[in-house]
Amino acid sequence: MAASAHMLGRLTLSWLAVVAAAFLLLRLMPGDPVEVFLSHVNISAGPETVAAYRVQWGLDGSVAGQFLRWLGGFLTFDWGVSYQTGRPVATDFAARVPYSAAIGFGGMSLAVIAGYALGFLAAHHPDGVPDKLSRSLAVAGQALPAFAVGLILLWVLGVQLRWIDALGGGSVERILLPALLVAFFSIGSMSRLTRAGFLEVKSSPYFRTALAKGLSPLGALWHHGRVAGALTLIAGLAPELAWIVGGTAVAEIVFGVPGLSERVVQAVNHRDYAILQPYIALVAIWMAVALQGARLLRRVFDPRVA
Partner 1 sequence: MIRLLLLAALGLTLALLWGVDPHAIDLGNRLAAPSVAHLLGTDHLGRDLATRLLWGALPSLMAIVLVLLGGLGLGVIAGGIISLGPAPLRDTTQWLAETALAVPTLVTALVLSALFGAGVFTVAAALVVTSWAPYALTIAALFDRIRGEPYWHATQALGVTLPSGVGRHLLPHAWPALGALAGADAGRAVILVASLGFIGLSADTGRPEWGAMIHEYRMFLFTEPRLVLAPILACTCVTVLLHGMLDRRKT
Chain residues in the site for partner 1 (CB under 8 A): 14, 22, 25-26, 29, 135, 138-139, 142-148, 151-152, 154-155, 158-159, 166, 192, 238-239, 241-243, 245-247, 249-250, 253, 261, 264-265, 267-269, 271, 273, 276, 280, 283, 287, 291
CA distance 236 to 111: 13
* Least spacing, CB of residue 143 vs partner 1, in Å: 5
Cα distance between residue 254 and residue 75, in whole Å: 32
**Minimum distance, C-beta of residue 301 to partner 1, in the bound complex (Å):** 20
Q: Which of 169, 153, 151 is nearest to 161 (CA)?
A: 153
Taking the complex as a whole, how short is the minimal distance between the CB of residue 98 and partner 1, in angstroms? 19
Output the smallest distance, CB 6 to partner 1, in A: 16
Longest dimension (CA), the chain: 87
- Residue 263: which of 245, 279, 242 has the closest Cα? 279
Q: Which is nearer to partner 1, 103 or 250 (CB)?
A: 250
Q: Say if CB 192 and CB 134 are below 8 A apart.
A: yes
Question: Which CB sits closer to partner 1, 144 or 227?
Answer: 144
Q: How far apart are CA 159 and CA 207, in angstroms?
A: 51
User: In angstroms, what is the minimal distance from the CB of 276 to partner 1?
Assistant: 6
58 versus 158: smaller Cβ distance to partner 1: 158
Q: Which is nearer to partner 1, 87 or 132 (CB)?
A: 132
15 or 222, CB closer to partner 1?
Answer: 15
DSSP symbols for 95-130:
HHHHHHHHHHHHHHHHHHHHHHHHHHHHHHSTTSHH
